[in-house]
């Protein structure tokens, strides 16, 4: 049963990854088009840069005064939190299942 729950959490992480792949690139394109100074902080290939992901996860993107951008970045942030939380829960359950 524990491994089944771990697998379910892994499935939730995959769903979060799907949402992240949709919303995070859209957010970065919006930054590139309308706020190049903010986008310039992350350089090229910002989609996978740790500094950009920390910026998103910490919610610092609210400093950009653009409701359309925050409307795209908020689902990306939520999906990133879902990914991290689900993978953590899955790892904990897996470790619990192999413990003697």
Looking from the CA of 4 toward its CB, the CA atoms found within 13 Å total 1
Whether pTM exceeds 0.85 = yes
Any residues with CB less than 8 A from the CB of 20 and at least 6 apart, and which?
Answer: 76, 79, 80, 83
Model pLDDT, residue 43: 83
Model pLDDT, residue 2: 87
Low-confidence ranges of the chain (pLDDT < 70): none
Model pLDDT, residue 52: 94
Model pLDDT, residue 87: 95
3-state secondary structure of 98: helix
Boundaries of every domain in the chain: 2-98
Judge whether 59 and 77 are in contact, CB under 8 Å.
Answer: yes
pLDDT digits (tens, 9 = 90+) for 58-81: 999 999 999 999 999 999 999 999
């Amino acid at each position: 049963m524990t491994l089944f729950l771990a697998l379910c959490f892994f499935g939730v992480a995959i769903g979060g990854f799907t949402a992240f792949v949709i919303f995070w690139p859209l957010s970065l394109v919006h930054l590139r088009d309308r706020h190049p100074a903010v986008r310039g902080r992350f350089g090229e290939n910002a989609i996978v840069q740790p500094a950009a992901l920390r910026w998103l996860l910490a919610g610092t993107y609210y400093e950009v005064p653009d409701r359309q951008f925050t409307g795209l970045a908020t689902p990306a942030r939520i999906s990133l939190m879902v990914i991290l939380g689900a993978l953590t829960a899955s790892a904990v359950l897996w470790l619990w299942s192999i413990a003697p």
